[in-house]
Amino acid sequence: MSKFTRLNVTAEGQTEERFVKDTLSQHLGKYNISTDVRCVLTSKDKKKFYRGGLISYAKAKSDILIWLKTDDNREARFTTMFDLYALPNDFPKYEESKKLVNAYDRVEFLEKAFAQDIQDPRFISYIQLHEFESLILSKPEELEIEYFEHTKEINKLKQLVIEKGNPELINDNPETAPSKRIIKLIPEYECNKVSVGASIVGIIGIDFLKGKCKHFNDWVTKLENL
């Protein structure tokens, strides 16, 4: 029987965490990879740890390093699922990355700086271009499963993707980031984005996402080959 590889994922928020639990873990299971996931630590007190939301890179780094130390098995692997949109400005080489116009060059530059800062060969850095909702926009018509009364608005999202040609390149401006575009047309999404977002991406499926989202494909392929 083939040996399983243990993969530990630090997710930016609850939507990413649920996606990893419900969809990515099942996909990677076919490659003998056992997946664990938790949201990034944001704060703590004497009684409780609070997780979810990439507020500070320093806090995220500390959380990742603790997990690396806790699970020190050399066969274990670690990765992240953070958004490029609203990445904290204390992120390694963040200001330098702004000089790169091409989104793929920029995110790869930041991932390399991230990995170099963590300094553990078991760590695979990943930053989602530009936001988790980019994955939804790979096939926005699936939103009709939850929002059947918004056919007109969903058609506008479909047209947007046609115009942009690539869901990963829909930009990260505070007014035009993928989630903001969806919420503007479907306000209800803001209240139930965790359940609906993760569910819709699961329905779209990993294989379809890999075909539409190059950077996402590169990450998942790395994980499959662990």
> What are the residue ranges spanned by the domains of the chain?
5-131+205-224, 133-203
For residue range 98-146, list pLDDT tens digits in order: 999 999 999 999 999 999 999 999 999 999 999 999 999 999 999 999 9
The domain made up of 5-131+205-224 is a member of CATH 3.40.50:
yes
CA-based nearest residue to 78, from 88, 67, 89, 63? 67
Phi first, then psi: what are they for 89, rounded to 5°?
Answer: -75, 0
pLDDT given for residue 202 in this prediction? 97
Q: What are phi and psi of 132, to 5 degrees?
A: -55, -40
Question: What integer pLDDT is reported at residue 53 of this predicted model?
Answer: 82
The whole-number pLDDT of residue 2 equals 63
Measure Cα distances from 219 to 3, 114, 225 in Å.
Answer: 21, 15, 10
Identify the segments of the chain with pLDDT beneath 50. 1
Question: Given this model, what pLDDT does residue 42 score?
Answer: 80
Element (H, E) at 11: strand 5-11
Mean pLDDT rounded to a whole number for the chain: 94
Classify residue 226 as exposed, middle or buried by CB count within 10 Å of its CB (0-12, 13-18, 19+).
middle
Say what the pTM is.
Answer: 0.95
SS3 content of the chain, % helix, strand, coil (to 5): 55, 15, 30
